[in-house]
Structure 1
């Protein structure tokens, strides 16, 4: 049932012509109904909000779906919000991975059509891979491609020594998921989703994971949930089952190494580079480390009054990153 405050907010927002607030409160009611087991009623409310949004504003408008543009109160300590403009073609990733990402983006854009046939677009994604392989950047891509805000969850603020507080903060996050459509990034999710079978685990951590699994299971919002980890082997098996798609990010191969460097040095002269020397020097480095090395070589070039990148500068920068890794 709706609370008095929610009913009051509905009437007030309608009287003031505040469509975004009216939509937000209605989505809160839908989330509450879903948690109470009233899935059909919850879906009817969400469909109603979607119809109203389509009739009152362009689907790409951020203002119509982002009442939490600046999270306030306790949410302000749990979420960082940004509005990325990154696109998929800005990244250099495995072709097979790009195809899967494109498919998920298509599903999101054609979500209404899929629902007409009883199908649900993928929206719970688990990214695995070594640090610097593009997991966080891909979360920014989803926000940029779909014109949605990116909410990065601050796990250091969620996890406390008191289980009740942690569960309460997680509930705040999932209430925000229902209220404000966006891309919600749980980075280093192994802090929440560690394997419950580990002998050195403690009861409190297991209960935190159980709460997280429950919230994932009950969530029926339209937001996109992205969880990322550098250590998939630490995750509990039950967590994998809660996600629509698990995508692995690998270290770049020879072709991608060249593509990453050329992409970052697009404003410089690279035609005379010796890739036979550069590519072996980049083996074992992540996307982010290669980008950093390319930027360091570019800065040296500019400070020397040149615009042509020298092979020696790039190889030295790559070897420096390799030794620092």
Structure 2
């Protein structure tokens, strides 16, 4: 039967609404039962998990508008602020955005509005998209991603027309809207390689952004803040800067990822230089790789050597791509 630690972990993951950790622990429990010869019970657990995943995988339905097809994509928000590994200052600023929305009535009595037009900037994999998901989850409003690559076209006027449709949708349907890879439309208007059409697109975006009076959150994310037009910054209520994880963040991230799996080493003793240059997402993926390798080899503990091997593999993949 399940161990006391497994039962406690299941209960904790349920009440923290961690939709990733709960099935992971349950599958570990199934594997443990299978090793004990309880194959029927293991199969039942796996079947229940699969059924649960299918029933909860449905996305919020966008009100029918054929013109928005392929432009606005709904996503299920499954992250909470406590799950974000970031500097205390960054988490405080995200918490302030949440508090202002929850108490927007109090602010409006004094003539203020809550901050909701936010620019997120920093290296890939450092938590920008996760932040948009967190806002949706914490505030219990839908989460949509605007597919910027589908907006920009070569036909004069078509991109601005698509932007108008999107902002009209934003004004009528309260939610968190993420414009990812925003520099595709927010590039500086004076750049030599920018054509007149793109300058018109940026001007249209600035106009729509300034005119928007909805309760929706308009989140723009970029990996290249230096490309953005300076006129953008005064249109946003806040600018959040994301960085690669420092030593303490690396330790907390690894601890969180391996929390439900036994380790044969002290996580705080990991050599930080081995993680240097990797993003939160890359480190998380390396931890997942180590867990999966441990499971496939019928081992009970993630070893220090295995984790560092997976970190090295990730560095090899990502840094070769970046060179």
Equivalent residue for 1:36?
A: none
- For 1:278 and 1:269, the matched residues in 2 are separated by 19
Using structure 2 for the length normalisation, give the TM-score: 0.78
- Confirm or deny that 1:189 pairs with 2:182: yes
Deviations 1:249-286 (A, max 9, x none): 10000000011111111210136245444422111100
- For 1:83 and 1:109, the matched residues in 2 are separated by 21
Of the three residues 75, 84, 107, the one matched with 2:100 is 107
1:234-245 correspondence runs (5 A)? 234-245=227-238
- For 2:228 and 2:101, the matched residues in 1 are separated by 27
Deviations 1:181-214 (A, max 9, x none): 0000000000010011112221111111101111
- Confirm or deny that 1:202 pairs with 2:231: no
Query: Structure 2, unaligned stretches of length 5 or more?
Result: 1-58, 319-323
RMSD: 1.6
SS at match of 1:77: coil
Deviations 1:276-313 (A, max 9, x none): 44422111100000000000011111111123110000
SS at match of 2:145: strand
8 Å Cα contact 1:281/1:319 also seen in 2: yes
Equivalent residue for 1:140?
A: 133
SS at match of 1:92: coil
1:87 Cα offset (Å):
0.5
Of the three residues 166, 169, 174, the one matched with 1:173 is 166
Equivalent residue for 1:49?
A: none
- Confirm or deny that 1:164 pairs with 2:157: yes
**Compared with structure 1, are the counterparts of its residues 83 and 70 closer, same or farther at alpha carbon in structure 2 (3 Å cutoff)?**
farther
SS at match of 1:163: coil
Of the three residues 73, 97, 100, the one matched with 2:90 is 97
Using structure 1 for the length normalisation, give the TM-score: 0.77
Equivalent residue for 1:282?
A: 275
- For 1:165 and 1:68, the matched residues in 2 are separated by 25
Of the three residues 204, 209, 220, the one matched with 1:211 is 204
8 Å Cα contact 1:123/1:223 also seen in 2: yes
Aligned residues: 260
1:76 Cα offset (Å):
2.4
Deviations 1:26-46 (A, max 9, x none): xxxxxxxxxxxxxxxxxxxxx
**Compared with structure 1, are the counterparts of its residues 276 and 222 closer, same or farther at alpha carbon in structure 2 (3 Å cutoff)?**
same
- For 2:298 and 2:173, the matched residues in 1 are separated by 49
1:29-178 correspondence runs (5 A)? 69-178=62-171
Deviations 1:67-99 (A, max 9, x none): 963553121221001231310001111110000
Equivalent residue for 1:259?
A: 252
8 Å Cα contact 1:68/1:180 also seen in 2: no
SS at match of 1:302: helix
8 Å Cα contact 2:261/2:301 also seen in 1: yes
**Compared with structure 1, are the counterparts of its residues 256 and 208 closer, same or farther at alpha carbon in structure 2 (3 Å cutoff)?**
same
8 Å Cα contact 2:125/2:280 also seen in 1: yes
8 Å Cα contact 2:254/2:267 also seen in 1: no
Of 311-320 and 70-79, more deviation after overlay is shown by 70-79
- For 1:282 and 1:310, the matched residues in 2 are separated by 16
- For 1:170 and 1:134, the matched residues in 2 are separated by 26
SS at match of 2:200: helix
8 Å Cα contact 2:185/2:198 also seen in 1: yes
- For 1:274 and 1:105, the matched residues in 2 are separated by 32
**Compared with structure 1, are the counterparts of its residues 280 and 74 closer, same or farther at alpha carbon in structure 2 (3 Å cutoff)?**
same
8 Å Cα contact 1:85/1:145 also seen in 2: no
- For 1:156 and 1:294, the matched residues in 2 are separated by 31
Query: Structure 1, unaligned stretches of length 5 or more?
Result: 1-65
